[in-house]
Structure 1
Amino acid sequence: MIRSRTRIVDSDTLAIRRASRLVGTRIAIACAAVVAVVIVAVFVYILSEISPGELFEPVPDTDNLQVSAVNLLRAAGVLGVALIILAGVLSFLVTRRAVQPLGDVLRIQRAFVADASHELRTPLAVLDARLQILQRTLPADDPSSSVVAELRSDAKDLIHIVNDLLESAEVGGAAVHDTVVVDLVAAVEAAVQSMALIAVDKNITIEMDAAQPAPVRVPASSITRCAVALLDNAVRFAPSGSIVAVGVAVTKKTVVVTVRDRGPGIQGIDPARIFDRFAHSGVAVDGGGAARTGFGIGLSLVREIAVRYGGAVHVVDSGAAGTAISLTLPRAKPAAS
């Protein structure tokens, strides 16, 4: 069996690196533009002070040093290039140091979320257990039975949210161990079977089209969790009676899972931002699905897992005809015998 050691990279670290590169590049370009303007000004000044015929003639110096205009221009050009390179290096170093406190804050935030989630899990579990006992002791014709059932449903929702928060916080900080090759198709099929039970209530059909095999070095539970989050989002906004399509495509280097719904599309928010924690759109969603504008933390968890294992997740397209989201993961090489 081939062992593969994966480098830990969470989405927060990736975002900081992108911001650092972007700011550093802009500073470098600005510095380069200033140096270029200065060099051009020097060129223009030197050329304006001499005639074309004198351009290649050496100019005698009082100390018997002879310098030609061409050599002077060449020296100015070399100096300008050196200054541009120096400005670029310094800008990246300064930017990297400047964004370091932001990374520390994000790590503290992640630790706080994990700690808070741990503290909330136990009392919520106790609350759910007590509600379950109360629900069992109530007679079937008790008028408060429906209220207790709703309370227990709300408690379960809170437990799911806390579990998602905890998993999202721990995914980026937990150590990555060697992962065996698993079949992504089987893990996605497990998610489809689970979500099909929920989709039935809305008269939605989930159809899957997958190629065999689809080997990846990602835990099957993580793949199933990602597929459930993508399907939950699709079913939530899909109109009643529609079809949610799940496709698995295998290329030479990647495995791509695409979930497509027939909902109204992403509205009131940049599609790339739906993977942020607790992202909310600015307008109400109408025309299919519940009138919810929040995307929860399920999609942010998908991004965490994808980035952690060298993959990515993005919105393929979104419009009045529906939304398609793709999860891309590196394809695993066959194990050596």
Structure 2
Amino acid sequence: MTHSANRIVDSDTLAVRRASLLVGTRIAVACAAVVAVVIVAVFVYILSEISPGELFEPVPDTDNLQVSAVNLLWAAAVLGVALIILAGVLSWLVTRRAVEPLGDVLRLQRAFVADASHELRTPLAVLDARLQILQRTLPAGDPSSSVVAELRGDAKDLIHIVNDLLESAEIGGAAAHDTDVTDLVAAVDDAVQSLVLIAVDQHITIEIDATQPAPVRVPASSITRCVVALLDNAVRFAPSGSIITVGVAVTKKMVTVTVRDRGPGIQGIDPARIFDRFAHSGAAVDSGGHARTGFGIGLSLVREIAVRYGGTVHVVDSSVAGTAIRLTLPRSRQA
């Protein structure tokens, strides 16, 4: 295993780096603008005080130092460039130091999520087991059977949420290991099959468009987990009777999976933020979808997995005609 494979790079680290770069760039641009204004003012003043013919004539001062206007302008320009570069370097250093507490907070948040999830898994598993025993002991036709079944469903939902939280925290805090080549198309097909029943119940069709193998060095379970999360989100907002398409494209270096629904689009939140943990969207509108809001932990987990294996995930487009989300992973050259 190479040294680079052991390096821990998660979405939180990348977010801190992006914030540092963004703030540092803005400060550097502001400083550069101030310096540029000063230099331009010097140029304008010098050119307004002398005629064009005097630009190259040396101007003596009281100490017998002779300098031409052109040399003075060149000196001012060089000094301005040096000050701009210095401002950029200092802005970058200061910004990196300033955002370090943000990185610490994100790491503490991840640790808290992992600890809380571990603590919740056991009591939830016990609760589900007891509800299962109660469900089996109820006589046939008991009016409380439906209520117990709903309670079991609620308990399972909580267990899934806790598992997602724990998986997100653990993936983000661990380095990626070398893995065998996986056919992404097969993993995508597994994900589609696991969501077909839910989609059929809501009269939604899921179609796959994959014409060739897509080799990647990502565990099949991780790919399936990502596509399940993307499809779950699409089914949640897709109107009844619509079609969800899953397209797989292969280039020389990358493999992409694009999930497109015909829902109302992302509402109530910046599309770029739907992959943040605990981000919530607006409710589905009249064009279809469920009333429950939020993108849950699932999409943040997709980003964690994508970043871990050198990929990305982003919203391609989102409008009243639907939403398309694309997962991109490096293509493996070894079959």
TM-score, normalised relative to structure 2:
0.95
**CA 1:282–1:244: 2 relative to 1, 3 Å:** closer
Question: 1:45 Cα shift?
Answer: 2.3
**CA 1:86–1:115: 2 relative to 1, 3 Å:** same
**CA 1:283–1:129: 2 relative to 1, 3 Å:** closer
Which range is displaced more, 18-27 or 45-54? 45-54
Within 5 Å, give how 1:236-275 maps onto structure 2. 236-275=236-275
Please name the residue that 2:137 is paired with. 137
**CA 1:271–1:290: 2 relative to 1, 3 Å:** same
CA distance in 2, matches of 1:222, 1:8: 18
SS in structure 1 of the partner of residue 257 of structure 2: strand
Letter in 1 for 2:195: M
Please name the residue that 1:123 is paired with. 123
Question: 1:145 Cα shift?
Answer: 0.9
Please name the residue that 1:193 is paired with. 193
1:255-290 per-residue CA deviation (whole Å, 9 max, x = no partner) reads 111111222222222222222223222454332221
TM-score, normalised relative to structure 1:
0.94
CA distance in 1, matches of 2:2, 2:186: 21
Q: CA RMSD in A?
A: 1.9
Letter in 2 for 1:248: V
CA distance in 2, matches of 1:267, 1:139: 46
1:25-46 per-residue CA deviation (whole Å, 9 max, x = no partner) reads 1111111111111112222222
Within 5 Å, give how 1:81-230 maps onto structure 2. 81-230=81-230
Q: Structure 1: give runs of 5+ residues left out of the alignment.
A: none
CA distance in 2, matches of 1:86, 1:3: 33
CA distance in 2, matches of 1:204, 1:102: 42
CA distance in 1, matches of 2:254, 2:119: 39
Please name the residue that 2:281 is paired with. 281
Question: 1:128 Cα shift?
Answer: 0.4
Check whether the contact 1:12–1:103 (CA below 8 A) recurs between aligned residues: yes
CA distance in 2, matches of 1:250, 1:177: 23
Check whether the contact 1:303–1:312 (CA below 8 A) recurs between aligned residues: yes
Identity %: 88
Q: Structure 2: give runs of 5+ residues left out of the alignment.
A: none
1:216-236 per-residue CA deviation (whole Å, 9 max, x = no partner) reads 111111100001001111111
CA distance in 2, matches of 1:120, 1:7: 30
Equivalent pairs, count: 335
Check whether the contact 2:9–2:175 (CA below 8 A) recurs between aligned residues: no
1:270-313 per-residue CA deviation (whole Å, 9 max, x = no partner) reads 22222222322245433222112211111111111111111111
**CA 1:187–1:51: 2 relative to 1, 3 Å:** same
Letter in 2 for 1:36: A
Check whether the contact 1:267–1:285 (CA below 8 A) recurs between aligned residues: no
Which range is displaced more, 147-156 or 306-315? 306-315
Please name the residue that 2:309 is paired with. 309
Question: 1:106 Cα shift?
Answer: 0.4
SS in structure 2 of the partner of residue 329 of structure 1: strand
**CA 1:191–1:3: 2 relative to 1, 3 Å:** farther
CA distance in 2, matches of 1:217, 1:3: 17
Letter in 2 for 1:301: L
Letter in 1 for 2:102: L
Please name the residue that 1:66 is paired with. 66
Letter in 2 for 1:152: R
**CA 1:138–1:283: 2 relative to 1, 3 Å:** closer
Check whether the contact 2:182–2:219 (CA below 8 A) recurs between aligned residues: yes
Which range is displaced more, 107-116 or 58-67? 58-67
Question: 1:63 Cα shift?
Answer: 3.8
CA distance in 2, matches of 1:269, 1:66: 64
CA distance in 2, matches of 1:67, 1:317: 60
Check whether the contact 2:184–2:223 (CA below 8 A) recurs between aligned residues: yes
Please name the residue that 1:22 is paired with. 22
Question: 1:179 Cα shift?
Answer: 1.7
Letter in 2 for 1:210: A
Check whether the contact 1:6–1:309 (CA below 8 A) recurs between aligned residues: no
CA distance in 1, matches of 2:4, 2:15: 25
**CA 1:264–1:219: 2 relative to 1, 3 Å:** same
CA distance in 1, matches of 2:261, 2:67: 73
Question: 1:79 Cα shift?
Answer: 0.9
Check whether the contact 2:283–2:292 (CA below 8 A) recurs between aligned residues: no
Question: 1:97 Cα shift?
Answer: 0.5
CA distance in 2, matches of 1:4, 1:42: 50
SS in structure 2 of the partner of residue 275 of structure 1: coil
Question: 1:61 Cα shift?
Answer: 3.7
Question: 1:6 Cα shift?
Answer: 6.5
Please name the residue that 1:293 is paired with. 293
